[in-house]
Amino acid sequence: MKRALISVYHKENIETIATVLVKAGWEIVSTGGTAARLKQRHIPVTEVSQITNFPEILDGRVKTLHPLIFGPVLAKRTNEHLRQLQEFRTAKIDLVIINFYPFEDALEKKAADLDAMLENIDIGGPALVRAAAKNFRDTIVLIDEKDYAPVIAAVESNSDIPMESRKKLAQKAFAYTSFYDSLIAAYLHAGEIGHPDFLTIGGRMTQSLRYGENPHQAAFMAIRDRRSPFNAIDQLQGKALSFNNILDLAMMYELLNEFQEKKHFAAIVKHQNPCGAAMAAAQLPAFQNAFQGDPRSAFGGIVGFNHRLEAETAAAMSEIFFEVVLAPDYTDEALKILHKKKNLRLIRMPAGYVENADFKTIPGGFVYQSRDNQTADSESFELKSGKPLNKKEKGDVEFGWKIIKYVKSNGIIIVKNLTLIGVGAGQASRIDAVELAIRKSQSAPAGSVLLSDAFFPFPDSVELAAKHKIAILVEPGGSIKDPDVILAAQKLGLTLLFTGIRHFRH
């Protein structure tokens, strides 16, 4: 007789596969709540304690951790292993169906309660899954109800599960236990200073993407925190999302999070660089100003809003080619207008999620840093040249300082009247970035603000800004040439602010 061990927290459809197994002559071995559920459905069950002659102890903390359970799961189908099982009056287990205590669910509800979180850490389940996965040639392991169907079909047809399928199920099981442990390790490390000796990045694959950075590259998206708005992207229409779309959406999402206020903010992103951004009392002028900041670069970009998308804004957008629209919501009228553009991807995503980690891959590994979540506050900036800022100037400075950290380094932006009018992104030379931003701004209207993600290494950027009548310069400071830069600003009559914070972005 074949035997299956079933012990699941999430019990959906468990009676379906159990019924099929019993009809085919299998014995069901089970524990606690799972056994009770199956008995309620009149499915015969042998409880684990009947095999081990040992009850569940410590409030259910120890149920299956016993040689008479692990031995049958790990036993090879060799004469010697089968003889040993017979010697101890037990028999092999051919199928293990297990899922774990809901640590991931608890993260969303009880993260502040350490005792509650510890009680949601499964011990026996992962141990049994690993044991079955190690012995996949002889013991099938199921951790996902989506995999029940092929096993049911094989049992009903009295056929075996192919070895390649068994191996895939084992791989999935080990990935599942690894992901589960990564959540626990990350939770216990949260808030700690310094880095752990071992770091695992767990992720649950949520969707295949249209393609990677280029069409010949495959791509998918995985989520490590179910609270992320990217966990279940609410796509209202349009083509499937690509790798590039997701990266631009992620950058846009974080940029929009910087502007959670009553005023309307609109931005346009292309290749993970903002190429348009504006803030206004109404949404339509915010969008129009953002678009006019660089209409050429806006073509084929993604556009985002910090408030519900309105009909008149949708109408203005409909004449322009965008790949994606991101907003926290859409009016019914706006949706009617944009539904005419069938390929346009409309994404609805609530604001407010803050990512604290930043990973980048390197050959054979990755580097980690804490996220650049520094907020803008002009009150803390040091005035090195010129007169104190008035209210309007403060608004432009803080608006620009929120945006500059999303520009690829070396990064320069020019802002006027709460509108991004020039971007110099990704230049190896800072003076080249300044020149590009000025050119993009159509020679930088007088009285504008120029912001730099890092210090000016020489006075040449100051001199070029003065030539184009830029009024205010904002940079972190920190160069050995700071005295020369400050002196140049003073001589040329420019206001110069040091933020003390660098915003490199690679």
Q: Does 360 qualify as catalytic in the annotation?
A: no
* Whether residue 256 has pLDDT greater than 90: yes
Average of per-residue pLDDT across 66-85: 88
> Rounded to a whole number, what is the largest CA-CA distance in the chain?
95
pTM for the model: 0.86
pLDDT at 193 (0 to 100): 61
pLDDT above 70 as % of the chain? 99
* Calpha distance 223→250 (Å, rounded): 13
* Whether residue 444 has pLDDT greater than 80: no
Q: Does 416 qualify as catalytic in the annotation?
A: no
* Whether residue 33 has pLDDT greater than 90: no
* Whether residue 215 has pLDDT greater than 80: yes
What's at 325, amino acid-wise?
Answer: V
Q: Are 304 and 327 in contact (CB under 8 A)?
A: yes
Q: Are 455 and 439 in contact (CB under 8 A)?
A: no
Contacts of 67 (CB under 8 A, 6+ apart): 88
Average pLDDT, the chain: 91
* Calpha distance 332→170 (Å, rounded): 47
Catalytic residue, candidates 134, 239, 263, 394: 134
DSSP-assigned states of every residue in 421-476: EEEE-S-SSHHHHHHHHHHHTTS--TT-EEEESS--SSTHHHHHHHHTT--EEEE-
Range from 73-77, 202-206, 407-411 that averages highest in pLDDT: 407-411
When mean pLDDT is compared across 4-8, 117-121, 431-435, 481-485, the lowest value belongs to 117-121
410 or 58: which leads in pLDDT: 410
Contacts of 360 (CB under 8 A, 6+ apart): 366, 367, 506
Q: Please, is 291 exposed, middle or buried when counting C-beta atoms within 10 Å of its C-beta (0-12, 13-18, 19+)?
A: buried
pLDDT at 429 (0 to 100): 94
What φ, ψ does residue 136 adopt, rounded to 5°? -60, -25
pLDDT at 50 (0 to 100): 85
* Calpha distance 122→128 (Å, rounded): 11
What domains are defined for the chain? 3-189 (3.40.50.1380), 234-348 (3.40.140.20), 378-498 (3.40.140.20)
Identify the band that residue 191 occupies on the pLDDT scale cut at 50, 70 and 90: low
Catalytic residue, candidates 239, 263, 271, 394: 271
* Calpha distance 4→72 (Å, rounded): 10
Average of per-residue pLDDT across 274-279: 96
